Amino acid sequence: MAERVDVLVVGAGAMGASSAWWLAKQGRSIALLEQFERGHVNGSSHGQTRIFRVAYRDPIYTALAAQSIPLWRELEHDAETMLLEQSGQLDHGFTAAIDEIEAGLLGAGYSFDRLDPDAAHERWPALNFDNAVLFSPDGGRVFADRTVDAAITSAQAHGAQLHFNTAVRAIEPRGDGVAVVTDDKTWHAGSVVVSAGAWVEGLVGRQSAWRNYFSLPTLAVTEQQPVHFAIKPDMEFPSYIHHVFDDSPGAALRFGAYGLESPGEGVKLGLETHRPVKSLVDRTLAIDQVDLDASIEYAHRWLPGADTSKVSAVRCLFTTTPDAHFILDRIGPIVVCSPCSGHGFKFTPAIGKITAELAMGGEQRRPEWRISA
């Protein structure tokens, strides 16, 4: 016998967890299906921290960050835990990038400090600067593992069914809804949220039954290897983004770097080096020495507050659209929730709400996030 719920959610990373939270909170009967165990490290949402910022070059994301703040507080309230800390965030490096961020903050009415490199180093001796610097007091950090756990726990408290170690093998059209097939059961639902991260293409992309109904943008799945260094005594790091590239017309993109303090773990550093992932099935989580050496070299030049003799690294998946926008849209009974491109976590509860509204029959009004039918 197939079991019927209002909405199925595939994938319990940050986005599936928060979609499940919001749907269950609205009284929908839902089941959250995740192929791995709770708290696994194979996707994009694991690790202690992520940067939170309102400072964006694209005002769409400044507005989305602003929308997310009261929802972060709501999730914190539901789960009785602190998730978002607005302790400030720095952007520095290439002047044109910092100018655009400044214009975005001015347009949205946010305050900021613009500093020269010497004044910035005096204020944050843990970092070196060579160019434009902007501090946004509304940025900060969110606690990633804790967020996923809080959303799952709160979804369950609102009545969601949770099924870990349950891989979805197929999603098929069925009547006015969908059939979702796992190894031991077929589920029926009015709609399904596909928040499957790097696996989205396999479920509803070109290889699936849905290729005749809609086409996803081309998705690149890559890996990054963020590291944590111990922090030298009396040093502190704000959340930081280093725009180490010249993006004037015709210039080649070199790379960017970002990081923040993770309590008890040290200072994080992520270099925007994207390694292609050939297979999601055979992927190992082995540490890449070339990437590790590049991180240490970067820290010697730019992070004087980091103790590079004490370092740990993890691997993390990125799913990227050609224009770096998200995919958040509904076609028929399928809602695709893929806030890819390496910057989605800060919006987690807002994306959960948007996705849940789409699953409950709402319409997507942002053209940037649409799927073409």
Ligand X SMILES: Cc1cc2nc3c(=O)[nH]c(=O)nc-3n(C[C@H](O)[C@H](O)[C@H](O)COP(=O)(O)OP(=O)(O)OC[C@H]3O[C@@H](n4cnc5c(N)ncnc54)[C@H](O)[C@@H]3O)c2cc1C
Residue 339 is a binding residue for ligand X (CB under 6 A): yes
> Smallest distance, Å, CB 119 to ligand X?
25
Binding ligand X (rule: CB under 6 A), the pick from 167, 209, 285, 324 is 167
Rounded Cα distance, 43 and 198, in Å: 7
Token pair of 99 as six digits: 């100018």
By CB under 6 A, which span of 9-17, 74-82, 109-117, 301-309 interacts with ligand X?
Answer: 9-17
Q: Which is nearer to ligand X, 330 or 343 (CB)?
A: 343
Burial class (CB in 10 A: 0-12, 13-18, 19+), 37: exposed
By CB under 6 A, which span of 40-48, 78-86, 114-122, 150-158 interacts with ligand X?
Answer: 40-48
> Smallest distance, Å, CB 216 to ligand X?
14
Site string for ligand X, 283-312 (x = CB under 6 A): ------------------------------
Neighbours of 98 (CB within 10 A): 21
Q: Which is nearer to ligand X, 73 or 116 (CB)?
A: 73
Alpha helices in the chain (DSSP H): 14-25, 59-79, 95-108, 117-123, 144-157, 200-204, 289-302, 348-359
Q: Which is nearer to ligand X, 36 or 213 (CB)?
A: 36
> Smallest distance, Å, CB 185 to ligand X?
13
Rounded Cα distance, 115 and 88, in Å: 14
The alpha carbon dihedral of 283, 284, 285, 286 has a sign of negative
Task: Map the footprint of ligand X across residues 177-216, applying CB under 6 A.
Answer: 195-199, 203
4 DSSP assignment: E
Residue 346 is a binding residue for ligand X (CB under 6 A): yes
Rounded Cα distance, 242 and 302, in Å: 9
Residue 238 is a binding residue for ligand X (CB under 6 A): no
Which of 101-139 are b and which e, b meaning 16 or more Cβ less than 10 Å from the residue's Cβ?
Answer: bbebbeebebebeebeeeebbeebebbbbebbbbbbebb
Binding ligand X (rule: CB under 6 A), the pick from 14, 30, 150, 219 is 14
Residue 10 is a binding residue for ligand X (CB under 6 A): yes
Task: Map the footprint of ligand X across residues 260-279, applying CB under 6 A.
Answer: 270
Which residues are within 8 A (CB) of 372 and not within 5 positions of it... i.e. 6 or more apart?
214, 215
Residues found near ligand X in the complex (CB under 6 A): 10-16, 33-36, 42-45, 50-51, 167-168, 195-199, 203, 224, 226, 270, 316-318, 338-339, 342-346
